[in-house]
Amino acid sequence: MNVRLRYMLLTVVTFLLPTASLAHHVLGRPAYSLDEESNTPPSMQVETQLGRYYINFMAFPAFPEPNEPGRVHLYASRIADGTPFIGKVTFKVRDDSWFNTEPEEVLGVQEIDDGIYRQGFLFRKEGDYVISAVFESDGEPYVIDFPITIGKPLPVGPIGAVIIVLAFVLVGVNIMQRRRLQRLQAQRHHEDASDA
Protein backbone atom coordinates (compact mmCIF):
# COMPACT_ATOMS: atom_id res chain seq x y z
CA MET A 1 0.00 0.00 0.00
CA ASN A 2 1.09 3.49 -0.71
CA VAL A 3 2.44 5.36 2.38
CA ARG A 4 0.31 8.36 1.58
CA LEU A 5 -2.83 6.25 1.42
CA ARG A 6 -1.98 4.66 4.79
CA TYR A 7 -1.64 8.09 6.45
CA MET A 8 -4.97 9.26 5.00
CA LEU A 9 -6.71 6.07 6.17
CA LEU A 10 -5.15 6.38 9.65
CA THR A 11 -6.26 10.04 9.86
CA VAL A 12 -9.85 9.20 8.88
CA VAL A 13 -10.02 6.34 11.43
CA THR A 14 -8.53 8.59 14.14
CA PHE A 15 -11.21 11.25 13.59
CA LEU A 16 -14.08 8.75 13.49
CA LEU A 17 -13.26 6.71 16.62
CA PRO A 18 -13.67 9.41 19.34
CA THR A 19 -17.06 10.59 18.05
CA ALA A 20 -18.45 7.05 18.02
CA SER A 21 -17.31 6.36 21.59
CA LEU A 22 -18.73 9.63 23.00
CA ALA A 23 -22.12 9.38 21.32
CA HIS A 24 -23.87 7.80 24.32
CA HIS A 25 -22.77 10.50 26.81
CA VAL A 26 -24.70 13.65 27.65
CA LEU A 27 -22.74 16.38 29.44
CA GLY A 28 -20.08 13.88 30.45
CA ARG A 29 -22.55 11.43 32.02
CA PRO A 30 -23.77 8.20 30.44
CA ALA A 31 -27.27 8.64 29.05
CA TYR A 32 -28.47 5.44 30.73
CA SER A 33 -27.80 6.96 34.18
CA LEU A 34 -30.07 9.98 33.66
CA ASP A 35 -33.23 10.03 35.78
CA GLU A 36 -35.26 12.52 37.88
CA GLU A 37 -32.25 13.02 40.20
CA SER A 38 -29.94 14.01 37.32
CA ASN A 39 -28.34 17.39 36.75
CA THR A 40 -31.22 18.89 34.84
CA PRO A 41 -31.81 22.62 34.70
CA PRO A 42 -34.29 23.97 37.26
CA SER A 43 -37.66 25.34 36.19
CA MET A 44 -37.10 28.47 38.19
CA GLN A 45 -34.57 29.61 40.68
CA VAL A 46 -35.11 32.08 43.50
CA GLU A 47 -32.05 33.79 44.93
CA THR A 48 -32.56 36.25 47.74
CA GLN A 49 -31.21 37.57 51.01
CA LEU A 50 -33.56 37.05 53.90
CA GLY A 51 -32.59 38.19 57.37
CA ARG A 52 -29.13 36.81 58.09
CA TYR A 53 -29.22 34.26 55.29
CA TYR A 54 -28.51 34.07 51.60
CA ILE A 55 -31.21 31.77 50.14
CA ASN A 56 -31.16 29.78 46.90
CA PHE A 57 -34.33 27.81 46.11
CA MET A 58 -34.92 25.79 42.91
CA ALA A 59 -37.19 23.10 41.50
CA PHE A 60 -36.41 20.14 39.23
CA PRO A 61 -37.19 19.08 36.49
CA ALA A 62 -37.39 22.14 34.27
CA PHE A 63 -41.01 21.46 33.24
CA PRO A 64 -42.77 19.39 35.92
CA GLU A 65 -45.79 17.41 34.76
CA PRO A 66 -48.68 15.91 36.73
CA ASN A 67 -48.06 12.42 38.15
CA GLU A 68 -44.30 12.74 37.61
CA PRO A 69 -41.90 13.03 40.55
CA GLY A 70 -40.00 16.25 41.07
CA ARG A 71 -37.95 17.85 43.79
CA VAL A 72 -36.99 21.19 45.29
CA HIS A 73 -33.59 22.17 46.66
CA LEU A 74 -32.94 24.82 49.28
CA TYR A 75 -29.53 26.27 50.06
CA ALA A 76 -29.36 28.58 53.09
CA SER A 77 -26.03 30.07 54.17
CA ARG A 78 -25.18 32.88 56.54
CA ILE A 79 -24.38 36.16 54.79
CA ALA A 80 -21.66 36.99 57.33
CA ASP A 81 -19.46 33.92 56.98
CA GLY A 82 -21.08 31.59 54.41
CA THR A 83 -21.75 28.75 56.86
CA PRO A 84 -24.83 26.73 55.95
CA PHE A 85 -27.94 26.67 58.12
CA ILE A 86 -27.95 23.51 60.21
CA GLY A 87 -31.40 22.51 61.39
CA LYS A 88 -34.71 21.26 60.08
CA VAL A 89 -36.67 22.82 57.22
CA THR A 90 -40.40 22.18 56.79
CA PHE A 91 -41.64 22.18 53.21
CA LYS A 92 -45.31 23.07 52.65
CA VAL A 93 -47.46 23.48 49.54
CA ARG A 94 -50.66 25.35 48.73
CA ASP A 95 -52.76 25.78 45.61
CA ASP A 96 -52.18 29.25 44.15
CA SER A 97 -55.61 29.60 42.54
CA TRP A 98 -57.99 32.47 43.34
CA PHE A 99 -60.75 30.41 44.89
CA ASN A 100 -58.62 27.91 46.78
CA THR A 101 -60.23 26.73 50.03
CA GLU A 102 -57.90 23.83 50.76
CA PRO A 103 -55.47 24.27 53.66
CA GLU A 104 -51.70 24.32 53.23
CA GLU A 105 -50.29 20.78 53.16
CA VAL A 106 -46.95 19.70 54.66
CA LEU A 107 -44.74 17.96 52.09
CA GLY A 108 -42.11 16.96 54.63
CA VAL A 109 -39.50 17.99 57.18
CA GLN A 110 -35.93 17.67 55.97
CA GLU A 111 -32.47 17.84 57.50
CA ILE A 112 -29.39 19.08 55.69
CA ASP A 113 -27.74 16.64 53.29
CA ASP A 114 -24.40 17.72 51.85
CA GLY A 115 -25.28 21.41 52.33
CA ILE A 116 -28.70 21.05 50.63
CA TYR A 117 -32.24 20.57 51.85
CA ARG A 118 -34.06 18.32 49.36
CA GLN A 119 -37.79 17.66 49.20
CA GLY A 120 -39.57 15.48 46.65
CA PHE A 121 -43.06 16.17 45.34
CA LEU A 122 -45.69 14.60 43.12
CA PHE A 123 -48.70 16.64 41.98
CA ARG A 124 -51.79 14.93 40.59
CA LYS A 125 -53.37 17.99 38.90
CA GLU A 126 -52.06 20.69 36.60
CA GLY A 127 -52.01 24.14 38.06
CA ASP A 128 -50.12 26.85 39.86
CA TYR A 129 -48.80 26.06 43.32
CA VAL A 130 -46.60 27.71 45.95
CA ILE A 131 -44.05 25.61 47.80
CA SER A 132 -42.89 27.19 51.06
CA ALA A 133 -39.73 26.39 53.01
CA VAL A 134 -40.05 27.27 56.70
CA PHE A 135 -37.32 27.25 59.32
CA GLU A 136 -36.30 29.11 62.46
CA SER A 137 -32.85 30.47 63.28
CA ASP A 138 -31.80 32.52 66.31
CA GLY A 139 -35.44 32.83 67.35
CA GLU A 140 -36.47 34.35 64.00
CA PRO A 141 -38.87 32.58 61.62
CA TYR A 142 -37.94 32.35 57.94
CA VAL A 143 -40.53 31.62 55.24
CA ILE A 144 -39.48 31.37 51.59
CA ASP A 145 -42.26 31.06 49.00
CA PHE A 146 -41.50 29.44 45.67
CA PRO A 147 -44.12 29.54 42.87
CA ILE A 148 -44.21 26.48 40.62
CA THR A 149 -46.38 25.57 37.63
CA ILE A 150 -47.25 21.92 37.07
CA GLY A 151 -48.10 20.96 33.49
CA LYS A 152 -49.72 23.47 31.17
CA PRO A 153 -52.70 24.91 33.02
CA LEU A 154 -55.22 27.05 31.21
CA PRO A 155 -53.76 30.51 30.60
CA VAL A 156 -57.07 32.05 31.66
CA GLY A 157 -58.26 31.37 35.20
CA PRO A 158 -61.86 31.50 36.45
CA ILE A 159 -61.81 35.28 36.84
CA GLY A 160 -60.37 35.71 33.36
CA ALA A 161 -63.05 33.41 31.93
CA VAL A 162 -65.79 35.46 33.62
CA ILE A 163 -64.29 38.68 32.23
CA ILE A 164 -64.11 37.21 28.70
CA VAL A 165 -67.74 35.97 28.85
CA LEU A 166 -68.86 39.34 30.21
CA ALA A 167 -67.00 41.16 27.41
CA PHE A 168 -68.70 38.94 24.78
CA VAL A 169 -72.12 39.60 26.35
CA LEU A 170 -71.51 43.37 26.39
CA VAL A 171 -70.32 43.38 22.77
CA GLY A 172 -73.34 41.27 21.74
CA VAL A 173 -75.79 43.58 23.54
CA ASN A 174 -74.08 46.62 21.99
CA ILE A 175 -74.39 45.14 18.47
CA MET A 176 -78.07 44.26 19.04
CA GLN A 177 -78.83 47.77 20.33
CA ARG A 178 -77.14 49.37 17.31
CA ARG A 179 -79.13 47.21 14.90
CA ARG A 180 -82.36 48.04 16.74
CA LEU A 181 -81.50 51.75 16.62
CA GLN A 182 -80.71 51.52 12.88
CA ARG A 183 -84.05 49.75 12.28
CA LEU A 184 -85.93 52.45 14.17
CA GLN A 185 -84.12 55.19 12.24
CA ALA A 186 -84.90 53.43 8.95
CA GLN A 187 -88.60 53.13 9.93
CA ARG A 188 -88.76 56.83 10.81
CA HIS A 189 -87.03 57.73 7.56
CA HIS A 190 -89.57 55.64 5.58
CA GLU A 191 -92.49 57.14 7.54
CA ASP A 192 -91.20 60.67 6.92
CA ALA A 193 -90.73 59.91 3.21
CA SER A 194 -94.25 58.46 2.89
CA ASP A 195 -95.80 61.45 4.76
CA ALA A 196 -94.17 63.91 2.40
Mean pLDDT of the chain: 80
Strand runs (DSSP E) across the chain, as ranges? 25-26, 29-30, 45-50, 53-60, 70-78, 88-95, 105-111, 117-121, 127-137, 140-150
Count CB atoms within 10 A of the CB of residue 60: 20
Helix (H) or strand (E) segment spanning residue 162: helix 158-195
* pLDDT bracket for residue 117 (50, 70, 90): very high
The arrangement of secondary structure in 28-150, i.e. its CATH architecture, is Sandwich (2.60)
Task: Dump pLDDT digits (tens) for 6-29.
Answer: 777 777 766 665 544 444 444 444
Q: Looking at 17-21, 48-52, 79-83, 114-118, which range is the least confident one?
A: 17-21
Task: Dump pLDDT digits (tens) for 46-75.
Answer: 888 888 999 998 888 877 889 999 899 999
Q: State the pLDDT at residue 128.
A: 86
Q: Which residues, at least 6 apart from 50, have a Cβ–Cβ distance to it below 8 Å?
A: 142, 144
Tell me the three state secondary structure of residue 88. strand
Every domain of the chain and the residues it spans: 28-150, 154-196
Count CB atoms within 10 A of the CB of residue 13: 9
Tell me the three state secondary structure of residue 116. strand
**Is residue 121 a contact partner of residue 69, using CB atoms and an 8 Å limit?**
yes
Q: State the pLDDT at residue 26.
A: 45
Helix (H) or strand (E) segment spanning residue 165: helix 158-195
* Range 133-159 average pLDDT: 83
